[in-house]
Chain A
Amino acid sequence: MKSLIIGGGKVGYYLLKTLTERQYDVVLIERDRNTCTDIAQDIDSNIIYGDGTDIDVLKDAGIEEAEVVAAVTGSDEENLVICKIAKSIFNVSKTITRVNNPKNIAMFKALGVDKAVCSTEVIANLIEYEFDQENCKIIQTFERGSMILVEIKIDKDNEWNDNLIKDLDLPNECVLTSILRNEKVIYPRGNVRILENDNILVITSQVGLSELKKQSRKGGIGNARNKKRY
């Protein structure tokens, strides 16, 4: 699979390095000659000096055989134009772009870029959703934070401790995906009992997350059904 990276800044540099190490066929385009030389000294890979919005430069880099084009320059408008050229002139199947300003993500998606990645927003979301409680940790957010993967550590006082999964009172938008116990993965079914020191991975939404938060404020994460009866 051949891929093309446009932009030799920090993102482009490490992307090239990582993909080259993983034995992918990668070409990088960068418009600053000195930057090109610097990268070429560090990484043994294909680096092309030129403007990534220039059709001849793109052809030189082999865009016609490329399956993925990643536009990672520091300019959002340039990234958009590169993706549009790749899509509409060369029919590249996957275009990925770096979005510098999170405000532009919606625009990129509306204009048909396959994947818009905004590190600013990813980090902002991580900070925003970081739990106050130490037993909860955000692992990953998807689709601009609309789906969240959370890890919950079960301690002795946790309400979930020593309960069957089917007895837990979970928010609607919340699925237990796996339990890590003594470095083993357990696939959570209704009849699995949660034990102390389990790490539970939960997929949830922003709503589900705040419900989990609310429940935890009442005294531990989640109110097991048997507790509710009192």
Chain B
Amino acid sequence: MNIIIVGCGKLGSVLANDLSSAGHNISVIDNNSECLNVLGSGFNGVKIKGIEYDNEILQEAGISTADVVLAVTRDENINITVSLIAKNIYKTPRIIARIVNPNRGYIYENLDIETVNPTLICSGILENKISDIKGVNHI
């Protein structure tokens, strides 16, 4: 699959390395070249430095033939903007955005953008773990 990953922070870089090793064609976009360097020499996808929602940058990343766009920057507004461009202008088949601030989930919902919410997922797991400990203690 052709996958564009927007944002090369911790989440983006791990995703990029994993998906690339799994044999997908990956383009990673980030405005900070130091973040892109984190990917290391093992990464055999395309690295692009530039404004994440810039038309030329997105085209260079191959947005017109992309199967999936993953908007996982740390900036809510950039994630939304990239998702809207992919959805409305390039009709990308699958777009998933990362919710940075859980309180802002309604924006994505309202604009009909598929999301993951790492904060909620993580806090859910933590809560479960704690309740496990309690359970053990009770016995």
Q: List A residues at the B interface (Cβ < 8 Å).
A: 53-55, 75-78, 80-81, 84-85, 88-89, 101, 103-104, 106-107, 110-112
Is B121 in the interface zone, CB < 8 Å from A?
no
- In the complex, how many angstroms separate the beta carbon of B98 from the nearest chain A beta carbon? 15
- Name A77's contact: one of B78, B103, B110, B111 (CB within 8 Å): B78
Contact, CB under 8 Å: A111 / B77: no
Query: 4 closest Cβ contacts across the A-B interface?
Result: A77-B77, A77-B81, A81-B77, A78-B77
Contact, CB under 8 Å: B111 / A88: yes
Contact, CB under 8 Å: A84 / B111: yes
Is B89 in the interface zone, CB < 8 Å from A?
yes
Chain A facing B: main interface SS: helix
Chain B facing A: main interface SS: helix
Residue of B nearest to A85 (CB): B107
Residues of B within 8 A of A110 (CB): 88-89
A104 to B52, CA, bound (A): 12
- In the complex, how many angstroms separate the beta carbon of A54 from the nearest chain B beta carbon? 8
Kindly list 9 other residue pairs between chains A and B, CB separation below 8 angstroms, not including A77-B81, A110-B89, A112-B88.
A53-B104, A53-B107, A54-B103, A76-B81, A78-B77, A80-B77, A84-B80, A84-B111, A107-B89
Q: List 26 A-B contacts (CB under 8 A).
A: A53-B76, A53-B77, A53-B104, A53-B107, A54-B104, A55-B106, A75-B77, A77-B75, A77-B78, A77-B80, A80-B77, A80-B80, A81-B77, A85-B107, A85-B110, A88-B110, A88-B111, A101-B51, A103-B55, A104-B54, A106-B55, A107-B53, A107-B85, A110-B89, A111-B85, A111-B88
A214 to B55, CA, bound (A): 35
Contact, CB under 8 Å: B53 / A77: yes
- Name B80's contact: one of A54, A55, A81 (CB within 8 Å): A81
Residues of B within 8 A of A101 (CB): 51
A55 to B88, CA, bound (A): 23
Residues of A within 8 A of B54 (CB): 103-104
Is B19 in the interface zone, CB < 8 Å from A?
no
A33 to B55, CA, bound (A): 34
Is B84 in the interface zone, CB < 8 Å from A?
yes
Residues of A within 8 A of B78 (CB): 77
Residues of B within 8 A of A112 (CB): 88
Contact, CB under 8 Å: B106 / A81: no
Residues of B within 8 A of A78 (CB): 77
Residues of B within 8 A of A89 (CB): 106, 110
Among B53, B76, B77, B103, chain A packs the most CB atoms within 10 A around the CB of: B77
A182 to B111, CA, bound (A): 56
- In the complex, how many angstroms separate the beta carbon of B67 from the nearest chain A beta carbon? 22
- In the complex, how many angstroms separate the beta carbon of B52 from the nearest chain A beta carbon? 8
Residue of B nearest to A75 (CB): B77
Among B84, B85, B89, chain A packs the most CB atoms within 10 A around the CB of: B84
Interface 1/0s, chain B 54-88, versus A by CB < 8 A?
A: 11100000000000000000011110110011001
A164 to B87, CA, bound (A): 55
A103 to B111, CA, bound (A): 23
